[in-house]
Amino acid sequence: MRLTLIRHASLLIELGRQTFLVDPLMAPVSGFVFDGEEQRVYVAGDTVWCADVGDALDDHAPTVVVVNAGEARMTEGDPITMTAQDVLAVARHTPATVVAVHMEALNHCVLTRKDLAAKLADANLDVLIPADGETLMLAGA
């Protein structure tokens, strides 16, 4: 297995707002690409939908993308993990299997699995939302 580090731009520079508050707390933000024999898994980590995430999807063409959803927020400022619209954007951008995690177990996450599932269903998009403790196996072929 090969591991590649993806350096995302600072969240708030990408968003262009409230840089002075959150940027020093969050940046730099990193994702990882795990290269296996059958699957290439991009774990985006704590990031919102931004150009660097799109570039990573284009450059590495993963078969699986794991995104942190939950629309997590600090006490002030914009989301620091993906909103439902961000997850939709990822799913529209890539043919890979998209897995949305990072919801409900953390008290700064405001987006629930149920709300995300409803928005995905409305958009007719197929994204996996595993329960806590659930295992995802990729049988391939």
Q: How many CB atoms lie within 10 A of CB 19?
A: 15
Decide if residue 133 touches another protein (CB under 8 A): yes
Six-digit token string for 105? 């177990």
Decide if residue 134 touches another protein (CB under 8 A): yes
Fill in the per-residue mask, 38 to 57: x = in contact with another protein (CB under 8 A), - = not in contact: x-------------------
Q: In angstroms, what is the minimal distance from the CB of 28 to another protein?
A: 32
Decide if residue 128 touches another protein (CB under 8 A): yes
φ, ψ for residue 117 (rounded to 5)?
-60, -40
Task: Report how far residue 100's alpha carbon sits from residue 67's, in angstroms, rounded to the nearest whole number.
Answer: 5
Q: Which stretch binds another protein (CB under 8 A): 13-21, 25-33, 112-120, 125-133?
A: 125-133
- Specify the DSSP class assigned to residue 83: -
Interacting positions 94-113 with another protein (CB under 8 A): 97
- Specify the DSSP class assigned to residue 19: H
Q: Which residues of the shown chain bind another protein in the complex (CB under 8 A)?
A: 37-38, 97, 126, 128, 130-131, 133-141
